Amino acid sequence: MPISVTMPRLSDTMEAGTIVRWNVKEGDEVTSGQVVADIETDKATMEMPVFDDGRIARLLVPAGQSVKVGTQIAVIAEEGEDLAAAAAGGGSTAPAPAAKAAPASAPAAAPSATARESEETLEVGGARVRVSPVARRMAEEAGIPLASLKGSGPGGRIIKRDVQTAIENAGSRPAAAPAPVAPAASAQALAVPVSPSPRASGGLVVAGLESERVAVSGMRQTIARRLVESKTTIPHYQVSMRFEMDRLVALREQLNRELAQTGIKLSVNDFIVRGCALAMARHPYVNASWAGDAIAMHRQVNVGVAVALDESKGGGLVVAVIRDADRKSLRAISAETKALSEKARTRGLSAEDMADSTFTVSNLGMFGVEHFTAIINPPNSAILACGGAIKQPVVRNDELAIGFEMTATLSSDHRVIDGAMAARWLQELKGLLENPATLLV
């Protein structure tokens, strides 16, 4: 019998997901564990596997559409089962959009066997063009002539994917001169609905300024909500300290030369993560969370490492978690950080990869940033913002010299960490980083 594939809950706070890309098409064979789609959740873009063998009988939700968790998104036919029969029997209701539900009085439309979109037939340049209403509306908003599109849907029908491809191709070419706007046009007339595409879908006027309107991903919305919540509910304060990095830079270069044949290359951030973990183990309030009427003193030291995602993938920031970081060597921390960062930028982190951090390190030093402050990642009580280890004039032994120095700023929750606690923790970290041999044992 047909196997129903539904939108999975990929994080504990996920209520809806957007299908960024289908990695299969109807008729393809699939095996258990195979990744069939990339799903954008409220936290990250993650891979979605299937758990049965068979063939894809029907894809119910097109790429770019957001639906609620539990909504049927595909149908798999079991081995030997007729595809048409499985497609017909695998679900007959259109997926519920995550944004707006249809009015109760609206009749339910009969779904098609493929893209689940209804169809219109238009006369374009003397020829009849079959196009879905969504694709027609997107093409009109983006100013793309339907006659220029080649439909990839059944019977040559133009569907949403065709318009999105045309928009992306147009974005890679020099933009044409904007059409003149009539003086009587209002800001409301110029506003364009947000397209599922991450590229700008049209122009609008805000306070007299011509602007582009870009769709906000679910992850970006979650980032915005959580950071506003953090800044408005957590009493932040910052303490900065400067670190002499000469010995650490020299030790790192020596170790990387000796480890070159193994393929291991330690980063300055690996030393910082290790130092933070050891300092947290010795100052447990920095490894704690506010729990309303109590302070939760965590038994594990789990350091989260902030990873910036490429703008081509929608941008955003995720936190990969190094568990029990105080018990791991530099080599283990380095390998795990690299693996998680690569996974975050390519396939997306799982909920487990991002869960249970007790502290966060955010490092912009690789961009040449000298100093910045960061917003606490709840339920953590602190986050360390690290600038670069910069070669500059310094004072060593009362003499002017050239050396490496780094400025780091600890943002703390004053309900958990007092100023003196923060200062003592930074002193502990300073001692570890300025005597980096202590990080090797």
- Per-residue pLDDT, 140: 77
- Per-residue pLDDT, 194: 37
Tokens read off for 199: 């590229």
With 60 as the cut, is the pLDDT of residue 119 above it? Answer: no
User: Which range, of 18-27, 103-112, 173-182, averages the lowest pLDDT?
Assistant: 103-112
Residue 193 falls in which region: left (phi positive, over 0), alpha (psi -120 to 50) or beta: beta
User: Which range, of 211-215, 262-266, 333-337, averages the lowest pLDDT?
Assistant: 211-215
DSSP per-residue string spanning 160-191: HHHHHHHHHHHHTSPPPPPPPPPTT--HHHH-
- Domains detected in the chain: 3-89 (2.40.50.100), 120-170+188-212 (4.10.320.10), 219-440 (3.30.559.10)
Quick one: pLDDT band at residue 417, thresholds 50, 70, 90? Answer: very high
Q: Measured between alpha carbons, how far is 85 from 66 in angstroms, rounded to an integer?
A: 27
DSSP per-residue string spanning 369-388: ---------TT-SEEEEE--
Of residues 156 and 373, the one with the higher pLDDT is 373
pLDDT digits (tens, 9 = 90+) for 306-344: 998 877 666 778 899 999 999 999 999 999 999 999 998
- Per-residue pLDDT, 173: 46
DSSP per-residue string spanning 82-138: -HHHHHHHS--SPPPBSS-PPPTTSPPPPP-SSS----EEEEETTEEEEE-HHHHHH
Q: What are the φ/ψ torsions at residue 333 (nearest 5 degrees)?
A: -60, -45
- Per-residue pLDDT, 241: 97
Q: Measured between alpha carbons, how far is 392 from 389 in angstroms, rounded to an integer?
A: 9
With 50 as the cut, is the pLDDT of residue 55 above it? Answer: yes
Catalytic annotation on 236?
A: no
Q: Tokens 């002539």 appear where?
A: 145
Q: What is the pTM of this model?
A: 0.61
- Per-residue pLDDT, 109: 36
